[in-house]
Amino acid sequence: MALYIFSDAHLGAGRGEHDEAKLANIARLFELVKADGDRLVILGDLFDFWFEYKHAIPKEHHEMLFMLRDLTRRGIAVDYISGNHDFWMDDYFEAQLKVAVHRDSLDLDYAGRKLHLIHGDGLAPADKGYRILKCILRNRFNIWLYRKLPPDWAIPLAKWVSGSSREYTSQRDPVFAPDYQAYAEQKLKTGYDIVAIGHLHIPIRKEFDGGVYVNTGDFIGHFSYARLDDRGITLEFLRDEADV
């Protein structure tokens, strides 16, 4: 059996046909998971924006939610590490989809390896402005206040802010790529065999003396993912259907 890891689809961003293409490729990945996987880890930013009210969720992502529930019904464990675009989760994923939600990072043992998995936003020491913003956005009181806005106001506003944030970070985050590698290398020195990070949208697999650092890239243009079995971890890409 195998563990699959992917991140950064940003569903809901851009044109509808682009989302349909991303969903189709996620469906193809899930077929691979069903074939030989027993666990899937989503490393954040599956959605470009996600927010839960007590009695409401964004309706545009129903197909993705059905796909996740299908996996858990088949007995495949699904873990969701929240990213910087989808951290406003409450209990919907765990209660309704049986998907385990992790607010920051996840450490686990799989196939004889010790893994550290994290989305990665704010890892760069020089990214002090975002670190402050992250604390503000994840403050429980601020989340409570935001829920007082009607969904028809709050969701469009948040989508606009999310799009602006994505444009800003897409230009800035590649500059911080060496910091992510340094973070991974330090974690490997503490006893982990594999460190997997998302957020950068840059597929990376790099071996160190102590283990392997993988950045899962994205499911926007690269359609890259990591796969771990008893032989080790690989960074793989969905081939164009014309090549299959």
Per-residue pLDDT of the chain (244 residues; tens, 9 = 90+): 999 999 999 998 877 788 899 999 999 999 999 999 999 999 999 998 888 877 778 788 999 999 999 999 999 999 999 988 787 788 999 999 999 999 889 999 999 999 999 999 878 776 666 665 566 666 677 777 777 777 776 676 666 555 545 554 555 556 788 999 999 999 999 999 999 999 999 999 999 998 999 999 999 999 999 999 999 999 999 976 544 3
Query: Residue 58's pLDDT is what?
Result: 79
Per-residue tokens: 214 = 């993988």
Domains and CATH numbers, the chain: 2-243 (3.60.21.10)
Per-residue tokens: 232 = 């080790």
User: CA-CA distances (angstroms) from residue 99 to 31, 129, 197?
Assistant: 18, 32, 19
